[in-house]
Amino acid sequence: MTQADTFLSAEDAIRRRHSVRAYQAKSVPRDEIERILEIASHAPSGSNFQPWRVYVLTGAKLLRLGQAIRGAYLSDEPGHARDYTYYPKEHYEPYLTRRRECGWGLYTTLNIQRHEKEKMKLQRATNYEFFGAPCGLIFTIDAGLETGSFLDYGIFLQSIMIAATARGLDTCPQASLAEFPDIVRHELGLPKQERILCGMALGYADASDIVNKFSPPRVPVAEFATFLD
């Protein structure tokens, strides 16, 4: 049995998955990526729409896209906007507090202080190069599809992450990559009809990097579930 054949239980894989923001240089074999995508393709979707479309980037293509987006971000290039709205225009409770805890938790782990805006910006920029992962995934959705397909898509994304974790790989889902959809379309040669939904880093965690120690807490079941009898 190879290491990849030693699977985790579904519960262990779900619990063990965390967003990993620093990777080893070690590449992910193509058949391993195909296997993970094939497993995730079993995700359910309304009317079996399977609204996902995935671009797997490695090597020069990955570097080019990362550099293009990072450059636009660091130079505050104007005119970039997501193809869809991710967050409300104004944050409100309890989401505001959770968002702040998440953001500050990450910066605290990295010992970045509130006034160190340049350090924050550079940290954020690591998103655009897929945190140094050897493989980057870009997910698109047809522009004609509706909110229901976003529901389907989330299940697919989690299926990828769980399958990857079970096979000894690590991931980070990345909505940040959808902030520059025109650059992504240009670099990948995609039509406007393909909306850029998000990206995902895929690889093997660099366990020695402190950024990977960050793991935000969860709201207890009693706070989000109501049992009605």
Ligand X SMILES: Cc1cc2nc3c(=O)[nH]c(=O)nc-3n(C[C@H](O)[C@H](O)[C@H](O)COP(=O)(O)O)c2cc1C
Taking CB under 6 A as the criterion, the residue among 163, 172, 190, 202 binding ligand X is 172
In the complex with ligand X, the residue whose CB is nearer, 198 or 202, is 198
The DSSP symbol for 25 reads: S
Q: For residue 186, which amino acid is it?
A: H
Locate tokens 């049995």: which residue? Answer: 1
102 counts as binding ligand X under rule CB under 6 A:
yes
Specify the 3-state DSSP secondary structure of 54.
strand
Question: Strands of 135-142's sheet, edge to edge?
Answer: 53-57, 135-142, 194-203, 170-174
127 counts as binding ligand X under rule CB under 6 A:
yes
Taking CB under 6 A as the criterion, the residue among 174, 187, 195, 202 binding ligand X is 174
Cite the DSSP H helix spans in 126-207: 147-166, 181-188
122 counts as binding ligand X under rule CB under 6 A:
no
In the complex with ligand X, the residue whose CB is nearer, 31 or 110, is 110
> Cβ neighbours of residue 175 under 8 Å, at least 6 residues apart?
86, 198
Judged by CB under 6 A, the stretch of 15-23, 55-63, 87-95, 114-122 that binds ligand X is: 15-23
Residue 89 exposed, middle or buried by CB count within 10 Å (0-12, 13-18, 19+): exposed
Taking CB under 6 A as the criterion, the residue among 59, 99, 215, 219 binding ligand X is 215
Q: How far is the CB of 120 from ligand X (least distance, A)?
A: 12
Binding site residues, ligand X, CB under 6 A: 18-19, 21, 102, 127, 172-176, 198, 215-216
